[in-house]
Structure 1
Amino acid sequence: MTTNCTHLGEARVLQTDRDYCEACVRLGQRWVHLRLCLTCGQVGCCDSSTNQHASKHYQETGHPLVRSIEPGEHWVWCYEDKIVAGEIDQ
């Protein structure tokens, strides 16, 4: 594990208007919190959610960065480096 994220330069999508997990909606299930993939803009549910779609998206695509899109939260998580990589205030 590193103490610095080596992937922040890969962030392309910093915000979204989506306020739901599309995969959970298709399944007719609920989520706890939402995460935005900073590579492609996919919105998925967090690891506290039953389906953990944000983590599954990382496992399927290798896109390393997500940010919380919960109100008042600005942190970025790097799956690859397993650290909070910083904050995006948008």
Structure 2
Amino acid sequence: MAATEFTLDDLRRILSEGAGDDFDLDGDILDTTFEDLGYESLALLETGVRIGREYGIELDDATLTDIETPRQFVEAVNNQLGLIDQVA
């Protein structure tokens, strides 16, 4: 089965599942830092684990700690899925 592209909406869903609705993920957040969105590194590591389980990939801790924006997160997941790393 071919891998499905991971999108910003997928990331929003998984972030919300992990942290609840306490964070504003609406609007154009692609280039907003996770720090500005209120997410700490531990939350991003947990998000990486959730994505790994759901999509059957592994995002290493070094990759996750370097990610600063949702755009970078989506690109990292799509790279692991073997898809083109562009976000519309």
TM-score (norm 1): 0.34
TM-score (norm 2): 0.35
Structure with the larger helix share: 2
Structure with the larger strand share: 1
